[in-house]
Amino acid sequence: MSTLHARPAVLSITDAAAQRIAKIMEDKQGEVAGLKIGIKNGGCVGMKYTMEWASEIDPLDEVVEDKGARVLIDKQAVLFLFGTVMDYETTALSSSFTFNNPNQTSACGCGESVELTPISQDALKGLN
């Protein structure tokens, strides 16, 4: 008989990020299903994070719900985001979502572009 293990969440959300996402979702009054996170090729070191409000959940999206927030992770980004902590930071000059991603191997000086390596199969197996 096999024992089922809960699959770990791809991404965790800080209280600040969850509050901001939940507030925006509330303001949009049901017009959005969640904040969709992905990655795309581009920038000076290879990849960029993408974020957009999704009106529906794709059946292949990874869904992370925490503290009233719903984040949808594009299927192509899952292996690049395992273990990532999403935060929302406010400084004197700006406010933005940030990603503390253990799969990030470098970033450009302006912070717009990152180099990401997908989680290894061994590390993935270790999560279960």
Quick: pLDDT tens for 57-105.
999 999 999 898 999 999 999 988 988 999 999 989 889 898 998 877 7
**pLDDT for position 23:** 93
The domains of the chain, with CATH numbers, are 11-127 (2.60.300.12)
The pLDDT of residue 20 is: 95
Q: Give the C-alpha separation, 94 to 68, whole Å.
A: 24
* pLDDT at residue number 17: 96
Each residue of 13-61: pLDDT tens digit? 999 999 999 999 999 887 899 999 999 987 777 788 899 999 999 999 9
